[in-house]
Amino acid sequence: MATASFDVLGAYARICETLTADGAPFAVKRATVGGHAIKVYAECDENVVDVLLRNESRFGPLDLVIEGDRRLTYADVAGAATRLAGWLQDVHGVKAGDRIGIAMRNRPEWFVAFTAILRAGAVAVLLNSRGAGAELAAAAADVPCTLILADEERAERMREAGIAAPIETLGPVEAALAGEGRAAEPVRVDRDAPAMVLFTSGTTGRPKGAVLTQRNITNMARNLDYLTALQVELAAAMYGVPVETLRTMMPRVSNLLVFPLFHISGITAFFMTSASGGQLVTMRRWSPAAALELISGHAVTTLSGPPLILGDLLDHPEAAAHLKSVTAVGVGGQATPRSLIDRVRQALPTATQSSGWGMTEVSGSVTAIAGAPYLLKPSSCGDSSPIVELQVRDEAGNVLPQGTAGELWVRGAVVMQGYFNAPEANAAAFDGAWLRTGDVGYIDAEGFVHLVDRKKDMVISAGENIYCAEVERVLSADPDFVEVSMFGVPDTRLGERAIAAVTLREGASRSEAEVKALARASLADYKVPAAVVFDLGPFPRNVTGKVDKAKLRARYLEKAGEPA
């Protein structure tokens, strides 16, 4: 059993070094990609389909996804995907490199569609299933697709928006699940060919398609294996238990899927869970009571989501009775309040807590921290993955010394190929192979990263990214709005609350409800401001004429009597 004198961070560093040494399971090498030498895992699948095929071979009879009374095993999903891939080729002439959109809520059919697209050598374009019709239309225009596979609700929304691409609903997926159709052989493409496109606003308000390659995703999947091995090895060292003995004591992973599958966190949950033959439990909409029933009913071991989700569960009066199976708790989407870390520890004293930092553009996470190191360094988001190089730079691009805050730059196997058909955005984001993340932080003496601020103008509410520029652009369409600005303020439950400040033309009149309706007409519901204020103008501005949002936010908080 671990003692107070056990050197957690020292053991952690030694295990990291051992696992990644030459000849070790997670050895790292250099590979040339796009003319640049980057770090990659030496032993890594070439194509994403190989990862999925291996999981099918190892875990075929086990449940992969559960929705209500429906269960699909690994073999069910894989078998249906082979037939759907054949249908894609035979009916729509899909060939390697074609882009196929998916617009579905989290449901079993999503996994069949995703696997089929990759099996056909095509590129999965993951459309925001929560987006309004106009948003889906904009995404489909920016990243044209040969075909879009959608559930009925999304299909109707897209047709009303006038999307030109052919849209197929769930009929072909259901036919494939029923055993109909030709089974297609897997198509393998170059490891640096695109595998999927996910939408992110990056540093501007207009969502862009981040192109993630086969190499990106296979290295991401391998990195998830590394992080699991690291946790097990450290726990074994701390408690004096052989690693294999500890592995046999670990329950099968059962993951409540909270993040949407069009989000990189949802994709990560899928690959992390399936790597060990675990199951994903889906739910239609968030409800703490319903979630608790699912957790106890399916012996859920893994909970990951924004702080809001975890707070809601812990606040429920029946939480203790339903959370007994949970062994791992991860927070994503935004920083974790220290109070929540303490609450989770009190409610689930044996559960491993984890956190990290990343983004769509890096295929998920750059840094991660879990277990004992997390409790020792709760303000850190972890150390960088073995296949990532991380630097802190100033505005001029100069590397800053240890402990000094600056913009975090990233290079490595998980960094995206670029934004689809967006040369200006790519020029702004990249310096050679280095990605400017737009996040500000510093690296401490032990190599752990601490986030300080975001350069990106973004509000994170309930784990959802709300890009201020996007909302401001929509609201500014009203000619009676002289000034429009949006910013976030602290909220104990949501993390942040989005506030829209509007200055009206003299004589004009608008209500808060009218402004929200204007936003809701073009944007997803979660992007609609939580509150609208009309008494903050004229807005404070800097010397270049840009709105000084820090001062505007402070002005709002002072008038509202809220703490900063």
Question: Could you tell me the CATH number of the domain that includes residue 115?
Answer: 3.40.50.980
Domain count for the chain: 2
Q: What is the 3-state secondary structure (H, E, C) of 355-379?
A: EEEEEHHHCEEEEEEEHHHHHHCCC
Whose CA is closest to 305, among 332, 281, 285?
Answer: 332
Strand bridging mode 328-331 / 302-305: parallel
Phi, psi (rounded to 5 degrees) for 377 = -130, 65
Indicate whether 514 belongs to any domain: yes
Assess if residue 286 is contained within a domain. no
What are the two backbone dihedrals, phi and then psi, of residue 9, each rounded to the nearest 5 degrees?
-70, -35
Instruction: Please state, in angstroms and rounded to a whole number, the distance separating the CA atoms of residues 309 and 289.
Output: 12
Minimal CA–CA distance to 227: which of 338, 343, 358?
358
In 3-state terms the chain splits into helix, strand, coil percentages (rounded to 5) of 35, 25, 35
Q: Give me the sign of the Cα torsion angle 328, 332, 336, 339.
A: negative
Are 348 and 310 in contact by the 8 Å Cβ rule? The answer is no
Residue where a domain stops, chosen among 142, 164, 189: 189
CATH number of the domain to which 519 belongs: 3.30.300.30
Residue 140 falls inside a structural domain: yes
Query: 429: closest CA among 188, 208, 236, 233?
Result: 208
User: What is the predicted pLDDT for the residue at 96?
Assistant: 98
* 388-393 and 406-412 strand pairing: antiparallel
Q: How far apart are CA 539 and CA 552, in angstroms?
A: 7
Conformational region of residue 125, where left means phi above 0, alpha means psi within -120 to 50, and beta covers everything else: beta
Residue 159's H or E segment, with its range, is helix 152-160
End-of-domain residue from the set 133, 155, 189? 189
Enumerate the H helices of 334-455 as residue ranges: 338-347, 371-376, 423-429
Query: Which residues, in sequence order, are CB contacts of 146 under 8 Å at separation 6+?
Result: 92, 94, 98, 99, 100, 122, 165, 166
Cα–Cα distance measured from residue 231 to residue 228, given in angstroms and rounded to the nearest whole number: 5
The tokens describing 312, both together, are: 């809601």
Domain-located, residue 112: yes
Structural domain range at position 166: 68-189
Tokens representing 290 are: 């319903």
pLDDT of residue 453: 66
pLDDT given for residue 456 in this prediction: 67
Residue 430 located in a structural domain? no
Residue where the block lists tokens 């729509």: 92
Torsion, CA 199, CA 201, CA 207, CA 208, rounded to 10 = -60
235 Cβ neighbours under 8 A, 6+ residues apart: 241, 246, 371
Q: Which residues contact 503 (CB under 8 A, 6 or more apart)?
A: 481, 482, 483, 484, 534, 536, 537, 538, 539
Burial bucket for residue 412 (CB in 10 Å: 0-12, 13-18, 19+)? buried
Torsions phi, psi for 47 (to 5 deg): -125, 150
Domain-located, residue 258: no
Task: Render each residue's pLDDT in the chain as its tens digit; 564 residues.
Answer: 556 689 999 999 999 999 999 999 999 999 999 999 999 999 999 999 999 999 999 999 999 999 999 999 999 999 999 999 999 999 999 999 999 999 999 999 999 999 999 999 999 999 999 999 999 999 999 999 999 999 999 999 999 999 999 999 999 999 999 999 999 999 999 999 999 999 986 444 578 999 999 999 999 999 999 999 999 999 999 999 999 999 999 999 999 999 999 999 999 999 999 999 999 999 988 899 999 999 999 999 999 988 778 888 999 999 999 999 999 999 765 566 677 888 899 999 999 999 899 999 999 999 999 999 999 998 899 999 999 999 999 999 999 999 998 999 999 999 999 999 999 999 999 999 999 999 888 999 999 999 876 666 788 899 888 888 889 889 988 889 988 999 999 998 899 999 999 999 889 999 999 999 999 999 999 999 999 999 998 999 864 557 888 899 999 999 988 876
- Of 189, 205, 234, the residue at which a domain comes to its end is 189
Instruction: Classify the phi-psi angles of 479: left when phi > 0, otherwise alpha if psi is within -120 to 50, otherwise beta.
Output: alpha
Task: Compute the distance between CA of residue 352 and CA of residue 298 in angstroms, rounded to an integer.
Answer: 19
Within 8 A by CB and 6+ apart from 487, the residues are: 459, 468, 498, 499, 501, 549, 552, 553, 556
Q: What is the 3-state secondary structure (H, E, C) of 275-300?
A: CCCCEEEECCCCCHHHHHHHHHHCCC
In 3D space, the residue among 49, 460, 65 whose CA is nearest the CA of residue 261 turns out to be: 65
Q: What is the pLDDT of residue 224?
A: 97
- Decide: helix, strand or coil at residue 150: strand
Length, in residues, of the chain:
564
Q: What is the three-class DSSP state of 440?
A: strand
Task: Report the C-alpha gap between 82 and 52 in whole angstroms.
Answer: 12
179: in domain: yes
